[in-house]
DNA sequence: TTGCTTGCAAATGATTTGCACTGCT
DNA sequence: AGCAGTGCAAATCATTTGCAAGCAA
């Protein structure tokens, strides 16, 4: 059983790396060891993290390279940058790699966690937004729904 | 008629300044000329604007003072800071001073415009978020719904 | 008068960039 | 060989802060 579980996890991570590799290749980027380390850090975190978080998880990486590689990963559609109130931006996998979700943002410690709305709600929100966008002459690409408050640890 | 219209507008702006003054006083802040200029700039814009925008509208203000005063205005609940993808944050009046709304964000030029959901949709979104927050142990204070896409000018 | 405000200049800190070097392909 | 990728250090740029002078209560 334990063996199966490990095998499953390895497969999931393997699939992730493969998908990332394909996305990078599509943009003529290489999937280097440093980029792999970043992807691993994001996968291990399971929630949006900042550049210092990534450096903490992979101290052997040069900060400037991480910045550059996050940029590359963003351009190739692998990660998405989340603008935050604090000093640092947050990064997480972009949508084809992670299912559609939204963010709980703690206004005290700044942590960001993911949550999902049920499909019905999501559909309703989406159609409501499409309507509002149309009225304003906007061409919508995606939406974000954030909940600001106190996380369990800071409440 | 024209006179009435002017009178009305003056009243609205006067009310705004009065409300701002009260909010500042509650926090033991003074309503100085510089702060008034910032409030005017925000009111004239009618949409979220950045610090450079404020300086353009009021070049006589020192940037450092504008930063400090935006901070004061934020603490006293007059303005709200909006974290953006670009270099600068955006600022607009906070919720008691402006009705609840959401943002259309152009991913090309970065402009932010306000829009409102109809009450029914807003209620549904809100209850859906409350439920999701409860499951995650979050104490929600407010939510934001942003639509990212291309504005009419950039489409 | 008292101390909040302001403007200027200097400091800070995240992010970006130049450049020479390394390592895929 | 040829060029993308990397690390380091220097440069950038928004924002913050120290301090002396100005102004409102």
Class of domain B99-155: alpha beta
Which DSSP category does A39 fall into? Answer: H
Q: How far A20 CA lies from chain B's nearest CA (Å)? A: 23
In chain B, which residues have their Cβ closer than 8 Å to the Cβ of A115? Answer: 132-133, 135-136
The number of CA neighbours under 13 Å toward the Cβ of B57 is 19
Please write down the long-range contacts of B7-13, taking CB distance under 8 Å and 24 or more positions apart: B13/B40, B13/B43
What residue spans define the domains of chain B?
Answer: 1-96, 99-155
Give the nearest chain A residue to B120 (CA atoms). Answer: A128
Q: According to the model, what pLDDT value does residue B85 have?
A: 86
Query: Is B3 a residue whose pLDDT tops 80?
Result: no
The 10s digit of each residue's pLDDT in A126-138 is 888 998 899 889 9
Q: According to the model, what pLDDT value does residue B100 have?
A: 94
C-beta separation of A150 from A122 below 8 A:
no
B44 band by pLDDT with thresholds 50, 70 and 90? very high
Pairing label, strands A49-50, B102-106: unpaired
B57 Rama sector, left if φ>0, alpha if ψ -120 to 50, beta otherwise:
alpha
**pTM surpassing 0.85?**
yes
The 10s digit of each residue's pLDDT in B72-120 is 999 999 999 999 988 899 999 999 899 999 999 998 888 999 999 889 8
Tell me if chain A has a CB within 8 Å of the CB of B2.
no
Q: How far is the CA of B18 from the C1' of C6 (A)?
A: 23
Higher pLDDT, B5 or A155: A155
Query: Is B2 a residue whose pLDDT tops 60?
Result: no
The 10s digit of each residue's pLDDT in A106-127 is 988 889 999 998 898 899 888 8
Class of domain A1-96: mainly alpha
Query: Is A86 a residue whose pLDDT tops 70?
Result: yes
Give the nearest chain B residue to A90 (CA atoms). Answer: B85
Q: According to the model, what pLDDT value does residue B75 have?
A: 94
Q: According to the model, what pLDDT value does residue B149 have?
A: 92
DSSP symbols for B50-65 = EHHHHHHH-TTS-HHH
Q: How far is the CA of B112 from the C1' of D18 (A)?
A: 35
Higher pLDDT, B151 or A1: B151
The 10s digit of each residue's pLDDT in B125-135 is 888 889 889 98
The 10s digit of each residue's pLDDT in B52-71 is 999 999 999 999 999 999 99
Q: Is B138 helix (H, G, I), strand (E, B) or coil?
A: coil
B38 band by pLDDT with thresholds 50, 70 and 90? very high
Q: According to the model, what pLDDT value does residue B146 have?
A: 93
Contact B133 A104 (CB under 8 A): yes
Closest CA to A48 of A106, A93, A87: A93
- Positions on chain D within 7 A of a protein C-beta: 4-10, 13-18, 24-25
Rounded to the nearest 5 degrees, what angle is found at the Cα of B13, between the Cα atoms of B11 and B18?
90
A54 band by pLDDT with thresholds 50, 70 and 90? very high
Which DSSP category does B98 fall into? Answer: S
Q: How far B3 CA lies from chain A's nearest CA (Å)? A: 31
Q: According to the model, what pLDDT value does residue B124 have?
A: 87
Query: Is A69 a residue whose pLDDT tops 70?
Result: yes
Contact B115 A135 (CB under 8 A): yes
């Amino acid at each position: 059983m334990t063996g199966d579980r490990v095998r499953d996890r390895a497969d999931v991570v393997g699939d992730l790396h493969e998908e990332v590799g394909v996305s990078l290749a599509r943009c003529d980027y290489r999937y280097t060891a440093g980029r792999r380390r970043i992807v691993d850090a994001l996968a291990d975190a399971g929630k949006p993290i900042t550049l210092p978080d990534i450096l903490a998880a992979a101290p052997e990486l040069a900060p400037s390279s991480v910045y550059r590689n996050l940029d590359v990963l963003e351009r190739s559609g692998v990660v998405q940058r989340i603008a935050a109130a604090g000093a640092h931006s947050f990064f997480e996998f972009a949508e084809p790699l992670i299912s559609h979700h939204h963010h709980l943002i703690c206004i005290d410690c700044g942590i960001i966690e993911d949550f999902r709305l049920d499909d019905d709600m999501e559909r309703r929100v989406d159609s409501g937004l499409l309507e509002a966008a149309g009225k304003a002459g906007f061409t919508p690409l995606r939406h974000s729904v954030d909940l600001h408050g106190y996380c369990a640890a800071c409440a």
